[in-house]
């Protein structure tokens, strides 16, 4: 959708304003961009009406989301950058089939997400969710914890299976390896395993990874191949003492199968940061399941996110305006979905 306007002034449309301070543009961003790139015009869409009005002018869009019904208005648009890592919400047919460049911020939340997943492993291993419940009840629950399975254990000597050895998976593997865990990981492209990964497999070998792991972490992007990745068959392949960890996308797990697995003891427990429906409804069975640790989709959250995301965007903006599009970082393969 590169149409007319190449000889006209480049218009950059910023559509990342939020009522939540943590997801807002860093203070002074607009002034910094206009000062560094005086040849472009910067517009700011702070609501749906201004996005609709200004989208036809834009050649560059920095946004969390461009709804499919507004896509036909983007007649001059050449490049979209999003501060998110996941782009499944952007890859509707019209955008996927267009010649638009799409870049994302994969990797900048890798540390936060790895910390979060590692923290949930520790919490499950040491039975912290139960201790928190005992605290709220002013109850000394030591005898229950000592006398019921699983007795609190250490991560040292356990095996972590990581499905999706990208940025988050790599950082999680570093942390787990430093704690004495053995790492099995999968990556679509295979290749040589990093020194802290004992075994690297391809997706067709997931059955092996599931059977050998004490914890299974999902850190792969949401694509047609990973949608419904963990269902009844996969949960049955896991150890009865194993735990499932998901901080990627809720659509990767069959929640009905997981509910049954936790109720019937196919696996020991799970930690979920993402769900098929969000916010998770108050009447969801998931709230009441034994062995399930729930966090409300904040694994990738940390105060510096938007600053790092915007610095990456500005770096790419310099390449784009210089005609060096091959140097753009984090270009998304729109057919593969990441």
Same domain for 193 and 47, yes or no, is no
List the CATH number of the domain containing 290: 3.40.50.720
End-to-end CA distance of the chain: 20
Give the pLDDT score at 3.
47
- Closest by Cα among 224, 265, 220 to 243: 265
Give the pLDDT score at 259.
98
Same domain for 104 and 115, yes or no, is no
Give the pLDDT score at 7.
54
88 within domain boundaries: yes
Give the pLDDT score at 1.
59
Annotated active-site residue 116? The verdict is no
Of 44, 232, 297, 311, the active-site residue reads: 297
Annotated active-site residue 76? The verdict is no
Q: Residue 291 corresponds to which tokens in the numbers above?
A: 């062995």
Of 187, 249, 255, 305, the active-site residue reads: 249
- Closest by Cα among 49, 40, 83 to 65: 83
Domain span holding position 280: 110-294
Annotated active-site residue 282? The verdict is no
Question: CB atoms < 10 A from the CB of 187, how many?
Answer: 20
The one-digit pLDDT tens for each residue of the chain (338 residues) are: 554 444 579 999 999 988 899 999 999 999 999 999 999 999 999 999 999 999 999 999 999 999 999 999 999 999 999 999 999 999 999 999 999 999 999 999 999 999 999 999 999 999 999 999 999 999 999 999 999 999 999 999 999 999 999 999 999 999 999 999 999 999 998 889 999 999 999 999 999 999 999 999 999 999 999 999 999 999 999 999 999 999 999 999 999 999 999 999 999 999 999 999 999 999 999 999 989 999 999 999 999 999 999 999 999 999 999 999 999 999 999 999 99
Same domain for 290 and 153, yes or no, is yes
pTM, two decimals, is 0.94
Condensed to tens digits (0 to 9), the pLDDT of residues 249-298 reads 999 999 999 999 999 999 999 999 999 999 999 999 999 998 999 999 99
Structural domains counted in the chain? 2
Of 8, 278, 315, 325, the active-site residue reads: 278
Region label for 191, one of left (φ > 0), alpha (ψ between -120 and 50) or beta (otherwise): left
Same domain for 146 and 80, yes or no, is no
């Amino acid at each position: 959708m590169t149409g007319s306007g190449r000889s006209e002034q480049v218009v950059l449309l910023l559509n990342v304003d939020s009522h939540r301070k943590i997801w807002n543009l860093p203070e002074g961003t607009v002034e910094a961009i206009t000062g560094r790139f005086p040849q472009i015009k910067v517009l700011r869409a702070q609501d749906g009406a201004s996005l609709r009005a200004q989208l036809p002018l834009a050649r560059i869009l920095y946004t969390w989301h461009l709804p499919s019904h507004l896509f036909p208005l983007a007649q001059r648009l050449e490049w979209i950058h999003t501060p998110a890592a996941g782009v499944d919400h952007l890859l509707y047919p019209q955008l996927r089939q267009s010649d638009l460049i799409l870049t994302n911020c994969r990797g900048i939340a890798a540390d936060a997400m790895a910390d979060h997943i590692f923290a949930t492993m520790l919490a499950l291993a040491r039975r912290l969710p139960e201790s928190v419940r005992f605290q709220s009840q002013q109850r000394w629950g030591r005898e229950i914890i000592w006398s019921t399975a699983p007795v609190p254990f250490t991560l040292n000597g356990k095996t972590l299976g990581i499905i999706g050895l990208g940025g988050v998976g790599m950082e999680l593997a570093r942390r787990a390896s430093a704690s004495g865990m053995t790492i099995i990981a999968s990556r679509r492209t295979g290749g040589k395993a990093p020194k802290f990964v004992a075994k690297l497999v391809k997706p067709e070998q997931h059955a092996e990874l599931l059977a050998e792991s004490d914890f299974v972490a999902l850190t792969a992007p949401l694509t047609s191949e990973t949608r419904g990745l963990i269902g009844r068959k996969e949960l049955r392949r896991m150890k009865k003492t194993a735990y499932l960890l998901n901080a990627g996308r809720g659509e990767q797990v069959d929640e009905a199968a997981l509910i049954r697995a936790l109720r019937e003891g196919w696996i020991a427990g799970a930690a979920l940061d993402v769900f098929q429906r969000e916010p998770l409804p108050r009447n969801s069975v998931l709230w009441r399941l034994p062995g399930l640790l729930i966090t409300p989709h904040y694994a990738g959250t940390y105060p510096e996110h938007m600053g790092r995301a915007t610095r990456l965007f500005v770096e790419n903006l310099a390449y784009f305006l210089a005609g060096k599009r091959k140097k753009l970082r984090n270009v998304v393969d729109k057919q593969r979905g990441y």
